[in-house]
Amino acid sequence: MSMRAFKFAGVAASTVLGAASATAVYGSLSRSSQLFGPSVYRGPGRRRSVALTFDDGPTEGTLPILEYLDREQVWATFFQCGMNVQRHPEIARRVAAAGHQLGNHTYSHSRLTFRSPEFIDREVTDAQKVIQDETGLSPMLLRPPYGFRWVGLREVQRRLALLGVMWTVIGNDWRWPSERIAQHVLARVGPGGIICLHDGRGVEQKPDTRATLRALQKIVPVLKDNGFRFEVISDLMQV
């Protein structure tokens, strides 16, 4: 091969690798991507309804959120980590008994990007089993930690019949004060919107979720005053 041809081949290879990397990044991070498995980030929007979702529970911080939702007669979807369910099975059961929908948030809340298909399978499958064993309910929904998806997830979703769920707006409630969380959510949610908040902080023990609760107490009344209903994800996705 001539030097010119060698250089051309190198440029072509770099271009292919760059395109492949860009595709992988899009597939992993884009909320609308279907590359690594079927996923939704909002409902059809034909009704004035939204879905509240909470990630990283169950924890001690789940309980005041449950009490508030019960007082307001608001339904939500809780994406639970298997490790946290093992720590607090009674709280996981309370979430289920209150009529909220349960989702799979992996076992240990590990990032799935660049992990092997075997690792991804184990994380999702172990969480599915723990949630089912402790609550009697088998999740139909999956939210990967941080919203990061990767090769191997599609097969796990197919085998366990899980729909991936991203979000329309995320509250950043693990790092922002309640007023900013509420303003951010309310400015970006509309009919069919999926709101992502957190009743835990990964698999941290005894997390501080007070900002989430205070933000929730601002978000719910405003949305109700504007005629919104609150639905679990499975209901929100119905036409």
As a whole number, mean pLDDT of residues 145-152 equals: 97
Domain segments of the chain as ranges:
1-30, 38-236
Share of the chain above pLDDT 70, in %: 90
pLDDT, residue 25, reads 77
pLDDT band at residue 97 under the 50/70/90 scheme = very high
As a whole number, mean pLDDT of residues 221-233 equals: 98
pLDDT band at residue 6 under the 50/70/90 scheme = very low
Contacts for 88 with CB less than 8 Å, ≥ 6 apart: 57, 58, 59, 60, 62
pLDDT, residue 21, reads 58
pLDDT at position 12 over 80? no
Q: How far apart are CA 82 and CA 131, in angstroms?
A: 6
The single residue of 55, 56, 173, 199 carrying the catalytic annotation is: 55
pLDDT, residue 204, reads 97
Q: Checking phi first, is residue 153 left (phi over 0); if not, alpha (psi -120 to 50) or beta? A: alpha
pLDDT by residue (tens digit) across 164-187? 999 999 999 999 999 999 999 999
pLDDT by residue (tens digit) across 69-80? 999 999 999 999
pLDDT, residue 20, reads 46
Contacts for 215 with CB less than 8 Å, ≥ 6 apart: 171, 173, 178, 179, 181, 182, 185, 197
Q: How far apart are CA 62 and CA 209, in angstroms?
A: 8
Q: How far apart are CA 145 and CA 11, in angstroms?
A: 36
Share of the chain above pLDDT 90, in %: 87
CB atoms within 10 A of CB 56: 27
pLDDT at position 9 over 50? no
The single residue of 88, 109, 184, 198 carrying the catalytic annotation is: 198
pLDDT, residue 11, reads 44
pLDDT at position 13 over 90? no
pLDDT, residue 2, reads 55
As a whole number, mean pLDDT of residues 102-112 equals: 98
pLDDT band at residue 8 under the 50/70/90 scheme = very low
CATH of domain 38-236: 3.20.20.370
pLDDT at position 7 over 80? no
The reply to whether 56 belongs to the active site is no
Q: How far apart are CA 48 and CA 146, in angstroms?
A: 27
The reply to whether 55 belongs to the active site is yes
pLDDT by residue (tens digit) across 197-213? 999 999 999 999 999 99
Report helix, strand or coil for 103: strand
pLDDT, residue 4, reads 58
Bridge-partner residues for 169, per DSSP? 195
